[in-house]
């Protein structure tokens, strides 16, 4: 019988405990599929005596995750602590320096340091795998690095944060305000300790940066990824979008353009009859478009103990089988540098604004749009509210730069009662 693959698990939160449960409960299944036993030698976490719903008996304990990473009886470090730097990064570096493979679910660390960590792994003949860092149980990393390896990738897009999708779909189905559903999501435990990571698009932006790096073979500077959260999406926007046959999603999009890599995470309108438009609740969906494969749609649970632990184990079992794949699909020293292009691809836009109830107010807005080279596809004016009139405009395809010029000029018309809301309409 082949020697066991011995794990050291750093981090015993929801996902770490889930991995321990799978290894304990499914030992025979894992051995049959991996071709060798997978065992746990030692674990590490901040608190030793916490009830995690699974026995840790039989495993050595290390208070220091770096010491765990360096143990002689650990072949593979499973890093599940989180955080872009600090103990997670130190333990990962220590494991690689000691000649061990690493599996991680740490999207923040990889979005900021992934190429350097990948180079450290590959220079020692080791692998760094991260299926669990993107979209939970959905095997999107493997789809890009393996299943679609023979394709030029035209576009990567998707809903990559289940909390935001829950908030937006709950607002629509229950007719509730953003603030009310935000509090509800917080009480249900859906939000990160720092909610801005979720609703501000940062968590999903990390995932998009990783997928873009694989899809286009480049180092993605995370600080240049466009990020816009869902905080400004109102129930009025959701209702107006629905009237037009759309739904609002926090959507990540990456594509290579003639001006460079376009990578943005922002609220967008998508047609209600598309797979993305029909996505409900705390679920993720990734859409991959290859020149040979066409469109591939992957849907599934994007977070939680079972789904994320499942993704961790997929990497562990691959390593146990002897599968060696470059972290980003190509050797780290071959990752290219890239210029970032802000919203380079033209698109139609949804505009909502409150205009003062003055003669010619709408004509002045139309003039500003026209002067920026933007034509109007559809326009609706809803019932007056006191001294203002809600107006909805859908533009034809235009460049974001042109729209920004128009938005900057609108206050000079003297007819705006509120700041306009502008949302991109993404074709899927």
Which residues are known catalytic residues? 207
Question: Which residues contact residue 226 at a Cβ distance below 8 angstroms, ignoring those fewer than 6 apart?
Answer: 263, 264, 265, 266, 342, 343
**C-alpha–C-alpha distance, residues 65 and 43, integer Å:** 8
Q: Is 308 labelled as part of a ligand binding site?
A: no
In the chain the first and final C-alpha atoms are separated, in Å, by 50
Instruction: Report whether 268 contacts 103 (CB < 8 A).
Output: no
**C-alpha–C-alpha distance, residues 293 and 83, integer Å:** 35
Distance, CA of 38 to chain centre: 30
Q: Is 111 labelled as part of a ligand binding site?
A: no
The residue assigned the tokens 């679910």 is: 105
Instruction: Report whether 43 contacts 50 (CB < 8 A).
Output: no
**Please, which residues bridge with residue 43 across strands?**
9, 61
Q: Is 14 labelled as part of a ligand binding site?
A: yes
Phi, psi angles (nearest 5°) of residue 106: -95, 90
Residue 203, class by beta-carbon neighbours within 10 Å (0-12 exposed, 13-18 middle, 19+ buried)? buried
Q: Is 279 labelled as part of a ligand binding site?
A: no
Instruction: Report whether 159 contacts 165 (CB < 8 A).
Output: yes
Q: Is 125 labelled as part of a ligand binding site?
A: no
**C-alpha–C-alpha distance, residues 193 and 261, integer Å:** 31
Q: Is 122 labelled as part of a ligand binding site?
A: no
Q: Is 11 labelled as part of a ligand binding site?
A: yes
**C-alpha–C-alpha distance, residues 405 and 421, integer Å:** 14
**C-alpha–C-alpha distance, residues 403 and 178, integer Å:** 26
Which SS3 state, helix, strand or coil, does residue 61 take?
strand
CB atoms near residue 200 (< 10 Å): 20
Q: Is 192 labelled as part of a ligand binding site?
A: yes
CB atoms near residue 385 (< 10 Å): 11
Half-sphere exposure (CA, 13 Å, Cβ side) for 92? 31
Nearest by Cα to 289 from 157, 161, 159: 157
Phi, psi angles (nearest 5°) of residue 367: -65, -45
Binding-site entries for L-homoserine: 192
Binding-site entries: 10-17, 107, 192
Binding-site entries for NADPH: 107
Binding-site entries for NADP(+): 10-17
């Amino acid at each position: 019988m082949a020697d066991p693959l011995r794990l050291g698990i750093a981090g015993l939160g929801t996902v770490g405990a889930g991995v321990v449960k799978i290894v304990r409960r499914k030992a025979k299944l894992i051995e049959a599929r991996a071709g060798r036993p997978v065992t746990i030698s030692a674990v590490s976490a901040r608190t030793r005596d916490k009830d995690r719903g699974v026995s840790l008996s039989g495993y050595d304990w290390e208070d220091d995750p770096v010491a765990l990473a360096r143990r002689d009886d650990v072949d593979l470090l499973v890093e599940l602590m989180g955080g872009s730097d600090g103990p997670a990064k130190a333990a990962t570096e220590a494991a690689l320096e000691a000649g061990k493979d690493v599996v991680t679910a740490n999207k923040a660390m990889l979005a900021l340091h992934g190429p350097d960590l990948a180079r450290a792994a590959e220079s020692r003949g080791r692998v760094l795998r991260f299926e669990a860092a993107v979209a939970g149980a959905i095997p999107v990393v493997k789809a890009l690095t393996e299943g679609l390896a023979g394709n030029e990738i035209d576009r990567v897009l998707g809903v990559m944060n289940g909390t935001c999708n829950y908030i937006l779909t709950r607002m629509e189905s229950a007719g509730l305000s953003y603030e009310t559903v935000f509090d509800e999501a917080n009480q249900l435990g859906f939000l990160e300790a720092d909610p801005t990571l979720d609703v501000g698009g940062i968590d999903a932006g990390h995932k998009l940066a990783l997928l873009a790096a694989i899809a286009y073979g480049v180092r993605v500077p995370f600080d240049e990824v466009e990020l816009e959260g869902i905080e400004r999406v109102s129930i009025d926007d959701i209702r107006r979008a629905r009237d037009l046959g759309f739904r609002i999603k926090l959507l990540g999009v990456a594509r290579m353009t003639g001006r460079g890599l376009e990578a943005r995470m922002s609220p967008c309108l998508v047609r209600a009859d598309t797979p993305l438009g029909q996505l409900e609740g705390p679920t993720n969906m990734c859409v991959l478009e290859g020149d040979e494969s066409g469109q591939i749609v992957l849907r599934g649970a994007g977070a939680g103990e079972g789904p994320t632990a499942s993704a961790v184990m997929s990497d562990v079992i691959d390593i146990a089988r002897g599968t060696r794949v470059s972290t980003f699909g190509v050797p780290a020293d071959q990752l290219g540098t890239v210029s970032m292009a802000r919203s380079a691809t033209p698109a139609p836009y949804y505009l909502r604004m409150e205009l003062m109830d003055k003669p010619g107010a709408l004509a002045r807005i139309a003039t500003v749009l026209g002067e920026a080279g933007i034509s109007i596809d559809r326009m609706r004016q809803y019932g007056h509210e006191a001294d203002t009139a809600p107006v909805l405009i859908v533009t034809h395809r235009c460049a974001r730069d042109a729209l920004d010029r128009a938005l900057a000029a609108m206050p000079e018309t003297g007819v705006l009662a509120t700041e306009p809301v502008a949302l991109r309409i993404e074709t899927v």
